[in-house]
Each structure stands twice: as C-alpha cells, then as structure tokens.
C-alpha cells in the first residue's frame, strides 16, 4: 500500500480565497441559456421563464459570480438587441456557434436571474466586431443612475435602479483566430486600454480584466500577456487565463497529471505580470481571473458536437457527458485554483448548464448533476478561508503530456507526478480546517498522514469521497445518482495528526474541527 505524508502549519498561509474564485459562466451557446437557465413554459419555470429546478441546483452548486454573455459569442454581440420589448428584439446570426440568436434573453433578464440565483454578475464587452465606444455605452446603460440617454433607456425598460455591475471583461480570447475580429497583442492592448479609460471615466468603481492567452498552448502565450499588460497595466486589475483539460489520448494517468499544468500556467502569468510591474518599478500587482476552466474534449473538435447545420436556435452542442475520471481531473483543477488563492482572485467554471456544464437538463424535462458537479460544490462550500501551504511527500509516477493538437514534438514527459494532490483551507469563522485530497493512483489505496500544526487537538467534522469502480461511469437522466459522494470511513485522528486511506482514483474531503481556531 502506498503512503504519503503532509505537513501544514497554521502560520504558513498562501492567501485568502476571494469569494469570486468560485464563479461560473453562462454564454449564449447551445442550450446554456435557452433550455438551460431560461425556458418559459417549463413545468418549474417562474413567470420570468427561469427554470426553478435549475435554479435549485445552481444554489446547491454555490457559484458566486457568473460571467456573461460570452465567450466567443460576445465578440459579435450587439447588446442593444437583447434589451427593450421582447417582441421587438431582432433574431441574428451568431457566427461563434453557427446558431440563430433569438435575443429573448438579454442583459436585464440576466441581472434578474443573478438576483434569483444570489450571484454577482460579471459582464464581458464586445471588443471584436465592436470596441471602446460600445463598451462605454453598455456601461452607461447598466451602471449610470439616470438622466442620460442610455441610463434613461434602461429605466424606460423597467429597471429604475442601476445594475451596479462591478466586474467587466474586456473582450474574449482576442488572440484566437476563431474569434470574430481577433487582434494582435498590440492592437488588443491599445483598444483594451482605450475601452478601460472610457469605462472608468463613467464608473471608477469597476474592476477590469484584460484578455490573456486563450490557452497556455497558444504560440503567442507569454509575449501576448507581456505586450497586452505593457499597454493596459495602469488601467486593469486582472489578466485572464483559460484552460480546458483533455483526455484526447485516452490516457487517464496523463489526463489526471495535466491538471498540474494549470499550476505552471498560473505561475508563469504571475511572473509575466510582475515583470511588467518591475519594469515600471510599480508595487501594483495584477491579479489573475481564470475566467474559463473545465474539462472539455469529446465535443470540442468534432463538428457534430460543436455546431449543427441550418442555423438552429439553441442547438444541443457542446453537451459533454462527464464521467468519473473527468471529475478527478476537474478536482485537480480545483486544487490548482485553491493553491494559488494569493493571485487567482476570480475564476469561472465554463460553463454552468448543458454546454460543458456541471448541470444537465432535458428541454421540457428534468435537470441533473454531472460528475464534475461534486468537486465544484465541495470547493465552493468548504473552500472559503485561508489556504495553507502544504509540504507533501508522496509517491510519484511518470507520464507524458500529449499536446492537444496531436503534434508529437509538443508532447513532453511529466516525471515525478505525485499521486497525492492536496489543498488545505482554514476557515476561522467556522473553526474548521478542510483537507481536499485527490488520489491519482488508479489501482492502489493511498494512506495519507497529515500533521496539522498549530490548531491543538483536532476532531473529525465530516468526511466524504467521490469514487466509482468504473472510471467511465456517468450520471444520466435515467441514472442521475450513478456517481455521488459517499461517506469516507476510517479517518483516524490523534492529537494534531490525521490518518486517512484514500481509495484508488478518488476525490476526498475531510473536514476537521479545530478548537485552536
Ligand atoms: O466555453 C466555450 C468557449 O471556449 C468560449 O466561448 C470561448 O471563450 C472558449 O474558446
């Protein structure tokens, strides 16, 4: 049997988790909005068309902030199409997802939905087909109290009070050729700066995120961040990161190890942002907004999964069905985010419903939880507090990272991947210390002994595991509870030492009562 040892100390802190670390994403994409959060006529829908069963699952999942309306969609979006009397709103071609956008759900409906779901809104502006002028107009519409054309238009539309949106994304993935009106780093850096200036002149209380690279694999990764921040540094608070873990190679050990590349990605972006600061002799620190992250590969490349012919409204695209191994890789991503709580101050699981999502629905039918629902719920429920540094001594394995484009020269060996991936969060208000632990060994139990220093004698609050004998098992409409957490037995506590046996290929949460808190 394999054994790992961990030391954590109450005085050695990485940082506090910002509530915005537990965000998600709703894009006008497939059935995320239409048939997802919004489905007038659904048996559980309220008078506004918000699906009650989905809202209940969203509340259980507990995201804190929701990014909207895209994604690739935003780079061709005219926000004016989605406000005002619904019967007058135009139908438009959406070139991001080859769909027809009916515009029956728009900015104001999103604000109402956020209130119903008790989440903060995060809006993205269109810096693709539009630009800084459109960004300032949308901000005036949303945040200006009244007495101007666009703020009065909002009031005339029935929203007397400003929406008060604080967090804004300056476009989306502007480095990607798939983006409507992609930009070079210099072009984007310039328009992002000008948009930021105009927006902050209207509302200086807002916070802005500039687009970073759309993935660590982009050929321009690194130089993009450097150039963009060289332009925007004085005008933005955040730079964004996007990652979708994949198992194209059908190699589970490699897939589970690939979550660790999120750690590298975060640390590299921090280094670049701080280098830009250093060149200016600036004490300002740009924070990271990991505003798209998830597992996504089954419906990413195949045309029938990605788009449907005939420009349909809300086609069932990107409806990735997540299995047990996806939940494990996803859990690894959660741990990467928690362990960088000092610099990743905002993050959005992409996405929320139906399109690469933890919640699935049938249009007109039920809603259910996918496997990835559970690690996210754990992270959001129990990840609030101070993330502690961990000294991990774990048996390791060797694997390979496969470049998702299939180019072997960009694949590389990953030696010394620890079977144990871990994060520890101290919640002073609750007097709890929570261990989040992933066992990446597919065949063997991993015994973990953790010394939790500085809290005095510990006692067990609650412990559960997510585990399934079949790594390809999934939750479906007919078997919605095939994968679900179960109690984790046999946790032994002696003074400040916790000994636990983690099942092969399992995600685990151990909540300790810490009197010393
Ligand atoms: O989340 C799905 C898509 O992935 C988003 O629209 C885009 O930003 C990214 O490429």
Share above pLDDT 90 across residues of the chain, in percent, rounded to a whole number = 94
Rounded distance between C-alpha atoms, residue 458 and residue 455, angstroms:
7
Q: Is residue 396 located within the same domain as residue 378?
A: no
pLDDT, residue 307, reads 87
Cα-to-centroid distance, 37 and ligand 1 (Å):
18
Q: Looking at beta carbons, which pairs linking 268-271 to residues 24 or more positions away fall under 8 Å?
A: 268/216, 268/222, 269/212, 269/225, 269/239, 269/241, 270/340, 270/343
Pocket test for ligand 1, best of 125, 175, 350 (most atoms within 8 A of CB): 350
* DSSP 3-state percent helix, strand, coil across the chain (nearest 5): 30, 30, 40
> How much is the average pLDDT of 131-144?
98
Task: Output the pTM of the full model.
Answer: 0.97
The pair of three-digit structure tokens given for residue 415, joined into one six-digit string: 């030696």
3-state secondary structure of 392: strand
Q: Are residues 297 and 433 in the same domain?
A: no
Predicted confidence (pLDDT) per residue in 460-485, tens digit? 999 999 999 999 999 999 999 999 99
Q: Which atom of ligand 1 approaches the CA of 292 most closely?
A: 1
Say how many Å lie between the CA of residue 236 and the centre of ligand 1.
Answer: 22
407 pLDDT more than 70: no
Asked whether the beta carbons of 19 and 331 are under 8 A apart, the reply is: no
Q: Which of 364, 382, 400 is the last residue of a domain?
A: 382
Catalytic residues: 173, 292
> What's 225's DSSP letter?
H
How many domains would you assign to the chain?
2
Is residue 517's pLDDT more than 90?
A: no
Candidate of 32, 172, 355 to mutate for ligand 1, largest count of ligand atoms within 8 Å of Cβ: 172
Measure CA 198 to chain center: 28
Per-residue pLDDT of 153-186, as tens digits, reads: 999 999 999 999 999 999 999 999 999 999 999 9
Residue 516 clears pLDDT 80, i.e. is over it: no
Q: Is 295:351 a contact under the CB 8 Å cutoff?
A: no
- pLDDT, position 404: 74
Residues in the chain: 517
Residue nearest to atom 2 of ligand 1 (CA): 71
* Residues facing 92 on adjacent strands: 101
| Ligand 1 atom 9, closest CA | 71
Query: In which band, very low, low, confident or very high, does the pLDDT at 411 lie, cut at 50, 70 and 90?
Result: confident
CB contact set of 375 (below 8 Å; sequence gap of 6+): 327, 330, 331, 334, 466, 507
Q: 477: domain range?
A: 2-11+388-514
Using alpha carbons, select from 476, 475, 459, 468 the residue that is nearest to residue 513.
459
Residues 231 and 211: their CA atoms lie apart, in Å, by 12
Where residue 457 sits, what CATH number does that domain have? 2.60.40.1180
* Domain boundary, last residue among 317, 348, 382: 382
Q: Kindly give the number of the ligand 1 atom that is closest to the alpha carbon of 350.
A: 1
pLDDT of 408 reads 62
Q: Which residue blocks in 320-401 are alpha helix, DSSP H?
A: 324-338, 373-382
Q: Mark whether 409 and 364 lie in a shared domain.
A: no
Atom number of ligand 1 nearest to Cα 96: 6
């Amino acid at each position: 049997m394999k054994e790992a040892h961990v030391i954590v100390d109450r005085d050695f802190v990485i940082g506090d988790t910002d509530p915005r670390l537990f965000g998600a994403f709703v894009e006008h994409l497939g059935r995320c909005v239409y048939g997802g959060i919004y489905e007038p006529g659904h048996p559980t829908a309220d008078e506004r068309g918000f699906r009650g069963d989905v809202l209940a699952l969203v509340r259980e999942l507990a995201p804190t902030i929701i990014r909207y309306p895209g994604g690739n969609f935003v780079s061709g979006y005219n926000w004016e199409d989605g406000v005002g009397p619904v019967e007058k709103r135009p139908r438009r071609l959406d070139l991001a997802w080859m769909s027809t956008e009916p515009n029956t759900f728009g900015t104001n409906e999103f604000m109402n939905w956020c209130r119903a779901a008790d989440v903060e809104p995060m809006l993205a502006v269109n810096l693709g087909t539009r630009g800084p002028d459109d960004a300032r107009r949308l901000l005036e519409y949303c945040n200006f109290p009244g007495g101007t054309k666009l703020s009065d238009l909002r009031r005339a539309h029935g929203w007397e009070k400003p929406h008060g949106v604080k967090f804004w994304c300056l476009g989306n993935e502007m480095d990607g050729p798939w983006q409507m009106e992609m930009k070079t780093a210099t072009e984007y850096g310039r328009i992002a700066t000008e948009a930021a200036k105009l927006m902050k002149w209207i509302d200086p209380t807002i916070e802005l995120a500039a687009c970073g690279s759309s993935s660590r694999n982009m050929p321009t990764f690194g130089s993009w961040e450097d150039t963009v921040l060289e332009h925007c540094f004085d005008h933005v608070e955040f730079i964004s990161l996007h990652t979708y873990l994949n198992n194209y190679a059908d190699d589970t050990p490699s897939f589970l190890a690939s979550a660790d590349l999120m750690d590298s990605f975060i640390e590299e972006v921090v280094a670049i942002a701080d280098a830009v600061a250093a060149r200016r002799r600036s004490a300002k620190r740009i924070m990271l907004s990991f505003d798209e992250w998830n597992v996504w590969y089954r419906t990413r490349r195949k045309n029938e999964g990605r788009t449907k012919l005939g420009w349909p409204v809300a086609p069932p695209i990107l409806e990735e069905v997540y299995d047990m191994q996806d939940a494990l890789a996803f859990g690894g991503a959660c741990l990467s985010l928690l362990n960088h709580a000092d610099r990743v101050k905002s993050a959005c699981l992409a996405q929320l419903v139906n399109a690469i999502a933890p919640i699935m629905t049938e249009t007109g039918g039920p809603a259910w939880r996918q496997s990835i629902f559970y690690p996210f719920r754990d992270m959001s429920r129990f990840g609030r507090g101070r993330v502690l540094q961990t000294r991990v001594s774990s048996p390791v394995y060797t694997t390979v990272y496969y470049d998702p484009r299939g180019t072997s020269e960009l694949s590389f060996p990953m030696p010394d991947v620890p079977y144990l991936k871990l994060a520890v969060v101290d919640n002073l208000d609750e007097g709890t210390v929570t261990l989040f632990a992933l066992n990446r060994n597919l065949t063997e139990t991993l015994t973990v002994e953790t010394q939790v220093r500085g809290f005095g004698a510990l006692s067990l609050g609650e412990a559960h595991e997510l585990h399934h004998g079949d790594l390809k098992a999934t939750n479906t409409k007919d078997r919605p509870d095939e994968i679900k957490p179960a109690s984790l037995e046999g946790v032994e506590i002696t003074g400040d030492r916790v000994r636990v046996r983690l099942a092969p290929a399992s995600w685990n949460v151990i909540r300790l009562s810490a009197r010393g808190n």
